[in-house]
Amino acid sequence: MTDEVSGSKAGITVVVMIAAMMALVDISIVNVALNDIRAGFGTPLDQIGWVTTSYMMANIVVIPMTGWFQRRFGYRRYFVASTLLFTLSSALCGLAWSLPALVLCRVLQGMGGGAIIPTANAILFARYPKREHGMAAALFGIGAITGPLMGPTIGGYLIAWSSWHWIFLVNVPLGLLVAGLTLRFVREPGFHPRQEKIDVFGISLLAIGMPALQYVLEEGNREGWFESRTIVGLSCVAAIALITFVVHELETKNPVVDLRVFANRSYTAGTAINFLAGLALFGSTYLVSLFCGTIMHFAALDIGRVFMIAGLAQLLLMPMVGRLSPVVDGRIFLFIGIACASASQWLAAALTSASGFDDLVRLQLLRAVGLACVFIPVSVLSLSDLTPEQRGNATGLFNLTRELGGSLGTAWMGMIVTDGVALHRSELAAHVTPYNPLVHEQLRTIARATALSPEPILQARLIRQALVLSFEDGFRKTALVILTGLVLVFLVRRARPGVTVDAH
């Protein structure tokens, strides 16, 4: 195979940016629709997270395989096939008749989307000459960052205009446009399929272990964790598959994921920080979206506006960080970014049902500053210390960890909230007794304000307060986990000058 790609540079740039945004928007666009989907299917709170995590888990399984498929079928054919799979599954998501059907279609959609992102990146860099790779990186970065940030806003407008079904159906014309433009602009005149052995055993272990782990994280709390035979069995499957995967990948000659790159200290520490960045971006977005919907009763459009303002701020900040990166030690940016991202989550723990739109926007702006200071420096610092031969595999693995952080972070947030509701409700209910004068005062206040029976209203308030306390737990635990990144910064070496990095 040759990496040469020809065709209109402007046309190819437009195609890959649209494709990357389309695939990445679908990671976060569903967050503003979770309450609408719950209402439409009658889904409990502890099940709705599968709509988000199923897509991201499919991404995680597919991304390591994309290099082999690119070499076997070529950028052009593989990109078109992935786009058409994404388009078809998007249509099926929009027509889904139940939550299990929607989750299954999201898995298919994630398989297409997971292949689109790295292939779009590869096409863009293959088309631009090496001296213009900095420009190519900036252009792809705009699409890669804009997608997750603007997803909630786009979703909010679509739901306000019609229904949650359109957050998926809107991909159909875009997907067909991308496939058509790819066939029109992308050319690979020197492509020859490379016949190489694929690591079937490694891929199988990854495909078995990651979904098993995800099921344990999503369903463990609802099924009583290790009181459930299913959870115990799948925990064993996940542990055996993933441990065997690591051992196998370190020993095989043609690994689907070359884990030997983790011998580099800067890369290992930077990848761990990237994992935390994924948790901060996707996990906290999921938590804030649920808080806005369940506690503040925001409409989908209002939730989207909260993220839109912060997203625009981050788009303005990232080019500034990129320009300063060559002259300022990237570790300084990482310290600032991690501190701001952690602080935003810690302050979010003080949110209540009385909080307003401006309170949420201020916190998201602080998080946006943090993430803007992390994304570019962590890529440069992690990959600059590697040899060019190592960097190709390491870039894909680096991107994979951010997806993994978002997926596991989203599942973890859902677990904290659902587990916390039961715990805090029990604690609060212990104080609701006939001997508590505050209870009598609340009942009298409710009775004066409404003709309805005060007891059910008091119980509803109790549940609401339990939810608020559960979200408080989630925000604080997220803040503490992100803060551990400060320790990891000390393990990262300063970037070597003159190194071009294309990780996003």
User: Residue 155 is encoded by which pair of tokens?
Assistant: 């979703």
pLDDT of residue 468: 84
pLDDT digit of tens for each residue in the chain (504 aa)? 445 777 778 888 888 888 888 887 777 677 777 778 888 888 776 677 778 778 877 877 787 777 778 777 888 889 999 999 999 999 999 998 888 899 899 999 988 988 888 788 778 777 777 666 556 666 666 666 666 667 777 877 888 787 888 888 988 999 999 999 999 888 877 777 766 677 788 888 888 887 888 778 767 766 777 788 888 999 999 999 999 998 998 888 777 777 888 888 888 888 899 888 888 777 888 888 888 888 888 877 787 788 777 777 877 787 777 777 777 888 898 999 999 999 999 999 888 878 888 888 899 899 888 888 887 788 777 776 776 556 556 766 777 787 778 777 877 887 788 778 778 777 766 665 555 666 556 556 655 556 555 566 656 667 777 888 888 888 999 999 999 999 999 888 876 554 444 444
d(CA 400, CA 377): 17
pLDDT of residue 178: 92
User: Residue 388 is encoded by which pair of tokens?
Assistant: 């060019």
- Identify the helix (H) or strand (E) that includes residue 414: helix 388-429
Residue 465's alpha-carbon distances to 32, 103, 351, 436, 460, in angstroms, are: 22, 30, 12, 18, 9
- Identify the helix (H) or strand (E) that includes residue 395: helix 388-429
415: Cβ contacts below 8 Å, ≥ 6 apart: 217, 218, 220, 221
pLDDT of residue 504: 43
Nearest one of 335, 412, 4, 442 to 187, comparing CA atoms = 4
Say which CATH architecture domain 258-504 belongs to: Up-down Bundle (1.20)
Spell out the domain ranges in the chain: 1-193, 199-255, 258-504
Residues 151, 76, 501, 144, Cα dihedral to 10°: 0
User: Residue 146 is encoded by which pair of tokens?
Assistant: 């804009």
Asked if domains 1-193 and 258-504 share a fold, the reply is yes
77: Cβ contacts below 8 Å, ≥ 6 apart: none
d(CA 142, CA 380): 17
Contacts 24+ apart (CB under 8 A), 327-332: 329/494, 330/377, 330/378, 330/380, 330/381, 330/492, 330/494, 330/495, 331/377, 331/381, 331/489, 331/492, 331/494
Amino acid letter for position 213: L
- Topology of 1-193 in CATH? Growth Hormone; Chain: A; (1.20.1250)
